[in-house]
Chains A and B, each alone.
Chain A
């Protein structure tokens, strides 16, 4: 047995064990849905939570000066207002799947990390939507 490799192997084994029992256990319920929160708000009070759902249509308010972003996350049953600071990611829009990391303060969810859950479906733009040339034009305008 070569000792240093054996030690390395045992470290990896411990890491896998930690990921499998600790990490995976936590990530199995990666996010809670608004209605799950509403069922038992006490369970999540003061804890770090990931809240997942869709951005409610027309609920997005973003102040580019203060970077205050307010929107509502919904699962179709329960709506939860979210307050977040930071520029929204590119794919952020109405009806987009999102996962927000943060904590509850009363009925408001204070987010500190905003993740986008995009779909597995990929399609070329239909007529009237973005074409390569239009994207290039948009990029030029952005500069």
Chain B
């Protein structure tokens, strides 16, 4: 099947995304390492530059998974199901990085790796939800039923995002509120730090799009194989 091999190949768009992602990441890391230390926590603030980017990209990935899930239910095209699952998977990757980076940051600043406060508890629920999403996909053998159940889960999953984001405003927590505060439209940060954070965020987003494309292609090949096996 020549068509399959060509579609699964790493194409020029992927190459451009990879080059752009690495380049922007390099610039972002340069900015992060040259940004001034914070008055309070000195160089520990550097974890923020990747922590925030990873968290936002995880939110984005779960949101995109929901959009593809809606498209699947509407158009019944299996490609949308594959992309929905691909986005959720990349989202779970970035969510795991967010948790890991967050723990590395929490230990020297708060004093503990983990504590059951609202932001962390809702993050744990969010992560567990998408682990459950993949177990659900694995549990169902019929592709159409699997896609429909997964789509429902992917749509339900985004409910976690506003709860997780707003948790620091709604409840008493130890996690600080958003520095880049879109609710009150304030930025509690010096310009070089904001710049480093945003450039890293852009880099992680480019890498997300690349991962989504690659994972979508792998899923396409897997689906082809599943068809042949039957």
Contact = CB atoms under 8 A, between A and B. Distances in A.
Interface of A: 1-2, 5-6, 8-9, 12-13, 15-16, 19-20, 23-24, 26-31, 52, 89-91, 99, 113-126, 129-132, 135
Contact of A135 (B37, B109, B189): B37
B173 interface: yes
B228 interface: no
A24 B122 CA distance: 8
Contacts of A15: 128
Nearest to B192: A124
B100 interface: no
A123 B189 contact: yes
B74 interface: no
Given A2-B138, A6-B139, A119-B176, A132 B125 contact: no
A89 B106 CA distance: 11
Contacts of A122: 38-40, 45, 48, 179, 188-190, 193
- How many chain B residues sit at the interface, stated as a range, is 35 or more
B31 to A, nearest CB: 13
Nearest to A119: B176
A91 B139 contact: no
Contact of B121 (A27, A115, A120): A27
Interface centre among B112, B124, B136, B172 (most CB of A within 10 A): B172
A124 B110 contact: no
B172 A115 contact: no
Nearest to A2: B139
Interface in B35-53: 35-43, 45, 48
A125 B138 CA distance: 52
Contacts of B38: 122-124
Given A24-B122, A30-B171, A116-B110, 8 more contacts: A2-B139, A5-B138, A12-B129, A16-B132, A23-B121, A27-B171, A117-B174, A122-B189
Contact of A119 (B40, B108, B138, B193): B40
B166 interface: no
A23 B111 CA distance: 21
A16 B177 CA distance: 24
Contacts of B36: 124-125, 131-132
Interface string B196-223: 0000000000000000000000000000
Contacts of B8: none
Contacts of B35: 124
B128 A19 contact: yes
Given A115-B115, A123-B189, A91 B109 contact: yes
The 9 closest A-B pairs by CB, nearest first: A124-B36, A120-B176, A12-B132, A121-B188, A5-B139, A5-B138, A9-B135, A6-B139, A89-B111
Contacts of A28: 118, 171-172
